[in-house]
Structure 1
Amino acid sequence: MKFVSWNVNGIRACLKKGFMDYFHEMDADFFCIQESKCQAGQVELELPGYEQYWNYALRKGYSGTAIFTKHKPLRVKYGVGDKDTEEEGRIITLEYENFYMVTVYTPNSKRDLARLPYRLEWEDELRAYLVELDAKKPVIYCGDLNVAHEAIDLKNAKSNIGNSGFTTEERGKMTTLLASGFTDSFRALHPDMTDRFTWWSYMSKVRERNIGWRIDYFIVSNRLAPAITEATMHDQQLGSDHCPVVLELDYA
């Protein structure tokens, strides 16, 4: 099975920059997007053969997630725990017979870290939810997780220590999640690979010089790790300040 995740930074804008060409080229079983930045009725995608599931933020032009899939789920859930709503549209879970598919757009803690306390609460709640799912069946978890886990995951680690997305607290939450029974698919196949990123600032020449961060992930239950056949990022694909990340599993 092939999975794609892409923070499109506004699906309506991305549609004008080659989204559909890339979507059809990938022919994925699951194609997840984050930061859709639209409301119901603002965009209509013609995707023959795909089910569409959208989680819109209440605030217009903000956040939002979607999953397009060839496989009709048993259940769809928006929210975590007992909740089936999430006002910023940040999470979708699809349940299948043999696994859960979860896509997430993790809250940014903001440049001044004003939202860091909320972010840390979110991380704890989401981890508890993923562990709960994992106790029932394996989990495939993807999205823009807004953290570079290790120094190898961004270009200028030393100068970014303590900055949003590279705080000790945010990195620690990722470490705790992985220690709870999950595998970072890219690092499972490429433990020492450097200079592979998924996000670049829009500042002049930053992407051309590959001064980036790896903040978009596919994370899977440990028992799915042996099924990983490919985990990469399509860093030459334009259309957003993020690039797509791709996972292939030999799993049904």
Structure 2
Amino acid sequence: MFRVITANLNGIRAAARKGFFRWMDAQAPDVVCLQETKAQEHQLPPEALDLAHYHSAFVDAQKKGYSGVAIYAKREPLRVVRGTGMDDIDGEGRFVRMDFEGGLSVASLYVPSGTSGPARQAVKENFLDRFIANLAQMKNEGHPFIICGDYNIAHLDIDVFSVKSCSGTTGFLPQERAWFDDVVERVGWVDAFRLVNTAVKQFTWWSGWKGAWENNLGWRIDYQLITPDLAPRVRAATIYRHERFSDHAPVTIDYDL
């Protein structure tokens, strides 16, 4: 079994203090994709560097304490790609990819959030408009591909705690959901989680509202999108909520690879 974990840590140093790397190591994953590391590589905590049995790649934002993505992999990659080719986005440290022997590629993606206001929502939507071409290009490479990440979009009604409460909110806007429709229906990426887990109230992020975490008033915005050739190989998909490392929860998917 080939285990892939994706997790937005909302600060790798804070998550390390809360036991994330102890938990991660116990899961024995083959690949781990992280988002929102919020640290330059020289600021990484010892826990993030002491995993000698993993190869790692980090992409930092130019702005300290902001954004950042990473991948850990048991197998040494043949190639590491840092960035999307969009200078404005790459300065924020939002994409890293590993290519492995045998043809598998795995990427960690952190889509911009629009929560701080209209200006950042415009940045987010501009990124989505451009990035769909990247998604089409990666899909058409013709080999198995997994793009893990915080997409900052809840795609379907089932992916939010209340359609009525969340409508009109960034992350659940009609144009964002239509973009996700396009990614799945036209470009052809597959939401691996929903292939094997169709249960309700499966959320990966909770706002800072009082009681949101305790009452599971969340959103599912963290995904593993896969090429169709991997769809028959998805065996299990879970969200880990027994400990809290971040405002997001890790998503683990097991593949028969």
**TM-score of Structure 1 vs Structure 2, range by shorter chain:** over 0.9
Structure 2 Cα separation of the partners of residues 236 and 113 of structure 1: 35
Quote the residue 1:5 is aligned against: 6
- Correspondence for 1:92: 96
What are the Cα deviations for residues 224-246 of structure 1, in whole angstroms up to 9, with x where unaligned? 10010112211223111100001
Q: Equivalents in 1 of 2:154, 2:35: separation in Å?
A: 17
Q: 2:32–2:73: 8 Å Cα contact kept in structure 1? A: yes
Find the counterpart in structure 2 of residue 118 from structure 1: 123
Deviations 1:27-60 (A, max 9, x none): 1000111100001211142002101100000000
Q: Deviations over 1:151-179 (max 9, x none)?
A: 11011211211111110111111111112
> Of 44, 49, 62, which aligns to 1:58?
62
- What is the rounded CA distance, in whole Å, between the counterparts of 2:118 and 2:173 in structure 1? 9
> Which whole-Å CA distance do the structure 1 matches of 2:208 and 2:229 have between them?
38
Distance in 2 between residues matched to 1:40 and 1:33, nearest whole Å: 13
User: How does the TM-score come out when normalised to structure 2?
Assistant: 0.92
Question: Is the counterpart of residue 238 in structure 1 residue 244 in structure 2?
Answer: yes
| 1:79 shift after superposition | 1.5
From the two aligned structures, give the one with the greater helix fraction. Answer: 2
- Which stretches of structure 1, 4 residues or longer, exceed 3 Å deviation after superposition? none
Which residue identity is paired with 1:64?
Answer: G
Amino acid at match of 1:126: F
Residues 52-73 of structure 1: CA distance to partner in whole angstroms, max 9, x if unpaired?
Answer: 1000000000000111111111
Structure 1 residues 95 and 32 mapped into 2: Cα distance closer, same or farther (>3 Å)? same
Counterpart residue type for residue 250 of structure 2:
P
- CA-atom RMSD in angstroms: 1.6
Matched, 1:213 2:214: no
- Structure 1 letter corresponding to 2:195: A
Structure 1 residue matching 2:124: 3-state secondary structure: helix
User: Would you say how many aligned residue pairs link Structure 1 and Structure 2?
Assistant: 249
Q: Which runs of 5+ in 2 are unaligned?
A: none
Which runs of 5 or more residues in structure 1 are unaligned? none
**1:1-252 equivalences in 2 (<5 Å):** 1-43=2-44, 44=46, 45-81=49-85, 86-96=90-100, 97-136=102-141, 137-179=143-185, 180-191=187-198, 193-251=199-257
- Residue 111 (structure 1) shift: 4.6
Q: Would you say the 8 A contact 1:201–1:212 is kept in 2?
A: yes
C-alpha separation in 2, matches of 1:228 and 1:236: 23
The Cα of 1:133 is off from its aligned counterpart by 1.9
The range that moved more, 50-59 or 94-103, is 94-103
Alpha-carbon distance between aligned partners in 2 of 1:22 and 1:149, rounded to the nearest angstrom: 28
Instruction: Provide TM-score, normalisation by structure 1.
Output: 0.94
1:4 Cα deviation from its structure 2 partner: 0.4
User: 1:47 is aligned with what amino acid?
Assistant: L
Q: Secondary structure at the match of 1:122?
A: helix
Cα distance, 1:81 vs. partner?
4.7
Q: Is the 8 A contact 1:80 1:125 kept in 2?
A: no
